[in-house]
Structure 1
């Protein structure tokens, strides 16, 4: 599978590392060149890593084209900003016709709205609250 990840933070770099080499071609895009170095220094991208790094804005259609979006099977948008994630996901889905697109959206109201519009998304705010609620419910038994 050809995977394009927008955002080389903790989630994006971890995902790239886990998907790398498991019959996947992974490209990760980030505006900050130092993001790639930071996670490489922590050992996420080893010497045999096949992850391709592209510096630039994941909402720029021309940059996405250079990163290989036209051949991508999947785009995952996990930058620190909801707006950029939503925009990158919409560009991938509607401009380039990427079949599988996932966006992280922190704001629960926005996440629900965009999910209802057909955007595959997840909300760490909701997921985290649900997890904590389950944990404390289990402890109270």
Structure 2
């Protein structure tokens, strides 16, 4: 599977490493070259400096052949915009984005985006721990 991950922070780098170890073709995309330090030394994928909202950058990342696109930057709006570009313009089959704001997550789901809110996930996990 060819996967493009926009955002090479802790989550993006960890996901890139996991997918790379499983033999997937991974491109980590970030606007800050320093972020790539989080990738493991044995990372076989590509680290591409650029803005995931820029269609030319996405083409250089190979989005036209991508099976999946993941947007995990620190900014909800950037994640949603990039996810929509991947889904609507480049017809990527599987698109997932991280949305911190729980209220926005529901709105984006209505738009057809698969959005995960770590805020909701963590709150639910903590609640379960309190109840057990």
For normalisation by structure 1, the TM-score amounts to: 0.91
Count the aligned residue pairs. Answer: 132
Deviation at 1:23, TM superposition (A): 3.0
- Counterpart in the other structure of 1:75: 69
In the alignment, does 2:57 pair up with 1:63?
Answer: yes
Q: Can you list the C-alpha shifts for 1:74-114, whole angstroms capped at 9, x where unaligned?
A: 00000000000001100000000000000000011110001
- Counterpart in the other structure of 1:17: 17
Q: Which has the larger radius of gyration?
A: 1
For normalisation by structure 2, the TM-score amounts to: 0.97
Which residue of 78, 99, 109 corresponds with 1:115?
A: 109
Report the RMSD for the aligned CA atoms in angstroms. Answer: 0.9
In the alignment, does 2:55 pair up with 1:94?
Answer: no
Distance 1:53 1:22 in 2: 17
- Counterpart in the other structure of 1:104: 98
Distance 2:47 2:124 in 1: 34
Q: Can you list the C-alpha shifts for 1:15-71, whole angstroms capped at 9, x where unaligned?
A: 00000042310001000000002x14xxxx223x21201001111111000111000
Structure 1 residue runs of 5 or longer lacking an equivalent are none
Distance 1:90 1:53 in 2: 22
